[in-house]
Amino acid sequence: MIAATSFAGRRVALFGLGGSGLATALSLKEGGADVTAWDDNPDQVEKAAAKGVETADLRGIDWSGIETLVLSPGVPLTHPKPHWTVELAEAAGAEIIGDVEIFVRERAVVAPGSPLIAITGTNGKSTTTALIAHIIEASGRDAQLGGNIGTPVLQLEAPAKDRFHVVECSSYQIDLAPSLNPSAGLLLNLTPDHLDRHGSMEHYAEIKERLVARSDVAVIAVDDGWTQAIADRLERVGTRVVRVSKNRPIDDGFFADGAMIREAAKGSASDFADLSDIPTLRGRHNAQNAAAAIAACRVVGLSDDEIRDGLSSFPGLKHRMQPVARRGDVVFVNDSKATNAEAAAPALSSYENIHWIAGGLPKQGGIDALEPLFPRIAKTYLIGEAASAFASVFGAHGEFEFSGTQTPWRMPPAMHRPPGAMPAQALWCYFHPLAPALTSSAISRSGAMPSLQKLRSSRGSKCLSKRQPRGSDRW
């Protein structure tokens, strides 16, 4: 845990005592701040109090001496309306920040200039973040992975000269981190998301832009109009920008040419890394993730050979096109984090001869946007509340059936892969009684599709797989 010594002696109010909120309260307390914390959930308040955090309803405290309000990222700052603690803080003239801002201030005090890579975007953040941390760790360096990806940033080891922090940042966290100044800041893409919390697409994009605008080097994927405009704008004001693209060649930066990542300089391009034999980085979306990771690792001083070695050994991120098993020539791929059509598209576009388990709870937009990918699907198995709606869309394009589910399910020993071995094909299935909004599963092989009752996939399951050449023992 990082002790927030830069807040020593300061009076701080904190609202939100979930995972990151409690970690922040303990960090501030350890650093010598006078913290008063609260949450609408009495269980969270009780848990914090049991750990020695002073708790009190912030409606009833004296705000005249409060210098800082630390807000959980899940609490509205501006939209749809400011949270009541925000109104109290603004009336008292207190600053309003989040845990990432506290981390940044500690870094400025204890290890200014220590390597910090911050990643944001609408989609792909977690894969890129995990890939960067893996490459750094595989090179023998100290990589600290956290932020929006899982581990709260203040639970990581403290900044140090030779310690690399790799931090995924949501728009909420960026909005509460006015001093965020990474060594390398990554912006991967922008599509409408969280607009209920930001009011408009323009405001959402402006918040995301802050991360790269304050970076020593901005790594920007320029495959949509919003990110292209941001890259152009930053270059005009003198920011060093490294562009990456999954869709087209660029004059300077890194771009994907099929499975090959190419490096361009002044219009001349050369091959940098071939992803075709890396199963965890298949698909055009992962080419973008890899290109951005290459650029970021270059910024913080890794050699090209270290980067290539790290790419080749990347195990993938759980539940995101994650190869988990093989049975015969069937690949089982865990992609259960894809909870809407946009998120499911990359996996469906990366495989053929797919048996797709889809369903769960319906989400706005359904699967209509996936129609161009339906020819890749051999058969669909529909489950959950969304089954009927999905059938009305898919039924005109291919074979489907309504299927039941059971939970829990344990993979038969015959499907387990040997320790340390990478399966030749992969499945993803999400075994949890609460289904994601859209779940999908694809299995391809010669022969019949195994019964879903035999698979016993849970209500939220998603699998993808692809036929490989016979005799293939590797991805």
Least confident of 17-31, 90-104, 118-132, 226-240: 118-132
pLDDT digits (tens, 9 = 90+) for 114-173: 999 999 998 778 999 999 999 999 999 999 999 988 899 999 999 999 999 999 999 999
Q: What is the pLDDT of residue 68?
A: 98
Of 322, 122, 374, which is closest to residue 223 (Cα–Cα)?
A: 122
pLDDT value at 450 more than 50: no
**How far apart (Å, rounded) are the C-alpha atoms in residues 245 and 120?**
16
Buried b (16+ CB within 10 A) or exposed e, 25-53: bbbbbebebbbbbbbeeeebbebbeeeeb
**How far apart (Å, rounded) are the C-alpha atoms in residues 377 and 214?**
44
For 206, the enclosing helix (H) or strand (E) is helix 201-213
- What would you report as the CA-atom Rg of the chain, rounded to the nearest whole angstrom? 23
* Average pLDDT for 176-203: 88
Buried b (16+ CB within 10 A) or exposed e, 347-364: bbbbbebbbbbbbbbbee
Contact 430, 339 (CB under 8 A): no
Edge-to-edge strands, sheet with 354-359: 354-359, 377-383, 399-402
pLDDT value at 406 more than 70: no
pLDDT value at 378 more than 50: yes
pLDDT value at 38 more than 70: yes
Considering the entire predicted model, what is its pTM?
Answer: 0.79
Sign of CA dihedral 124, 166, 293, 282: negative
Edge-to-edge strands, sheet with 95-97: 34-38, 11-15, 68-71, 95-97
Least confident of 66-70, 187-191, 426-430: 426-430
Q: What is the pLDDT of residue 225?
A: 94
Q: What is the pLDDT of residue 252?
A: 96
CB burial of residue 120 (10 Å; 0-12, 13-18, 19+): buried
Residue 471 carries which DSSP code?
T
Better-predicted residue by pLDDT, 469 or 195: 195
Q: Residue 384: what are its φ and ψ, rounded to 5°?
A: 75, -170
Contact 456, 404 (CB under 8 A): no
**How far apart (Å, rounded) are the C-alpha atoms in residues 319 and 460?**
12
pLDDT value at 446 more than 70: no
Amino acid identity for residue 469 in this structure: P
Q: What is the pLDDT of residue 457?
A: 34
Q: What is the pLDDT of residue 377?
A: 92
pLDDT digits (tens, 9 = 90+) for 393-403: 988 888 989 98
pLDDT band per the 50, 70, 90 thresholds, residue 407:
low
Better-predicted residue by pLDDT, 180 or 199: 180
